Amino acid sequence: MSFNPESPLDNLWKEYSLVFRDFDDLTLARWLAQTLGQVQGKSWRLSHPLLGAYRLASKLGHDRQIWHKRIVSLPHGYSESACCRAPMLPLLTRDVHEDGLVCQHCDEILVPFDEIPAALQPLLQSWANEYSPVHAVAHWDDRQRKTARNYDQALENAAKSAEVLLARAGKEIAPKLLEFYPTVIWEDQDECLEVRPEDILT
Ligand SMILES: [Zn+2]
């Protein structure tokens, strides 16, 4: 989720983030901690506006080393992440089998796949294995596209499958992760297949 200066949407989000720049470190730290308290105990779509706002604030908090400096203590129920000392806030993506769970604060690996609770690994592995070939359709080379004859149709079918798989992530997988983490975020889009959050019905 890196910033692309060419992207109008990324620039708009940058504009949104200006509100947090007026916060001093303590105000920002309190806002982050309070918001984490409020979102606790649920799984959230990545596209949810509250989480979007949190992401903007947490990016700034990361730059200012809010958690590293321990300006406020960890919100109740959250443990410290090894990557950046922020409270653990895992993001579930389609790459979970390779990247594990991603840290929403620093974008590094928060929980490597083999450290995810063993009871959940088979479920995550089979979901990601099912998703991989579906996502790959967006990145087919010319030869593969020709083999499919009707590439537009193949792409359309892949997008439909991705919608179902992402809905399953939200309905089945994220709630199971919630048994082990105080709050969970799941990625509710596939930009390569042009699947948008509103396409995913949960
Ligand atoms: Zn981190």
Give the whole-angstrom CA distance, residue 11 versus residue 53.
15
Non-local CB neighbours of 118 within 8 Å, separated by 6+ positions: none
Cα-to-centroid distance, 62 and ligand 1 (Å): 9
CB atoms within 10 A of CB 166: 26
DSSP string, 81-106: PTTTSSBP-EEE-TTHHHH-EEETTT
- Backbone region of residue 70 per phi and psi (left: phi > 0; alpha: psi in -120 to 50; beta: other values): left
Mean pLDDT in residue range 106-127 = 97
Cα end-to-end distance, the chain, whole Å: 24
Does the pLDDT at position 2 exceed 80?
A: no
For residue 5, the model assigns a pLDDT of 87
Give the distance (Å) from ligand 1 centre to CA of residue 2: 15
Give the model confidence (pLDDT) of 36-78 as tens digits: 999 999 999 999 999 999 999 999 999 999 999 999 999 999 9
pLDDT in tens, 132-147: 999 999 999 999 999 9
Distance (Å, rounded) from C-alpha 198 to C-alpha 1?
19
Q: Give me 114's structure tokens.
A: 């083999």
**Average pLDDT in the 18-41 region?**
97
Residue 145 Cα to ligand 1 midpoint, Å, equals 38
Residue found by looking up tokens 């991705």 in the block: 162
SS3 category, 159: helix
Q: How far is the CA of 131 from the centre of ligand 1 (A)?
A: 25
Longest dimension (CA), the chain: 59
Enumerate residues 6+ apart whose C-beta is below 8 A from 115: 100
Ligand 1 centre from 80 Cα, in Å? 9
Q: How far is the CA of 79 from the centre of ligand 1 (A)?
A: 12
Distance 29 CA to ligand 1 centre (A): 16
- Packing angle between helix 49-63 and helix 8-21, nearest 10 degrees? 70
Q: How far is the CA of 89 from the centre of ligand 1 (A)?
A: 8
pTM: 0.93
How many Å lie between the centroid of ligand 1 and the Cα of residue 103?
5
**Percent of the chain whose predicted confidence (pLDDT) is above 70:** 99
Instruction: Tell me the average pLDDT across 175-185.
Output: 97
pLDDT at position 85 over 60: yes
Neighbours of 57 (CB within 10 A): 20
* Residue 4: band (very low, low, confident or very high) from pLDDT cuts 50, 70, 90: confident
Question: What separation in Å is there between the alpha carbon of 148 and the centre of ligand 1?
Answer: 41
How sure is the predictor about 117, in pLDDT bands with cuts at 50, 70 and 90? Answer: very high
Residue 1: per-residue pLDDT = 55
Kindly report, residue by residue over 183-202, the tens digit of the pLDDT: 999 999 999 999 999 999 98
From 121, 155, 119, 157, select the one nearest 139 (Cα to Cα): 155
